[in-house]
Amino acid sequence: MAVRAVRGAVQLERDEAGHMDEQVGALLTAILERNDLTADDLISIWFTATPDLHSDFPAAAARKLGIVDVPLICAQELDIEGAMPRVVRVLAHIESDRSRADIAHVYLGTAAALRKDIAQ
**pLDDT for 1:** 85
**pLDDT for 119:** 60
**pLDDT for 44:** 98
In this structure, whether the domain defined by 2-115 belongs to CATH 1.10.3720.10 is answered with no
Nearest Cα to Cα of residue 13 among 85, 80, 120, 79: 85
Which pTM does this prediction carry? 0.94
Which tens digits make up the pLDDT trace of 39-83?
Answer: 999 999 999 999 999 999 999 999 999 999 999 999 999 999 999
Contacts of 71 (CB under 8 A, 6+ apart): 43, 44, 45
**pLDDT for 49:** 98
Q: Binding site membership for prephenate: which residues?
A: 7, 89, 107
**pLDDT for 120:** 58
Q: Binding site membership: which residues?
A: 7, 89, 107
**pLDDT for 2:** 95
**pLDDT for 8:** 97
**pLDDT for 16:** 98
Which tens digits make up the pLDDT trace of 86-111?
Answer: 999 999 999 999 999 999 999 999 99
Beta partners for residue 37, in sequence order: none
Q: Is the pLDDT of residue 117 over 90?
A: no
Q: For the chain, what are the domain ranges?
A: 2-115
pLDDT band at 21 (very low <50, low <70, confident <90, very high): very high
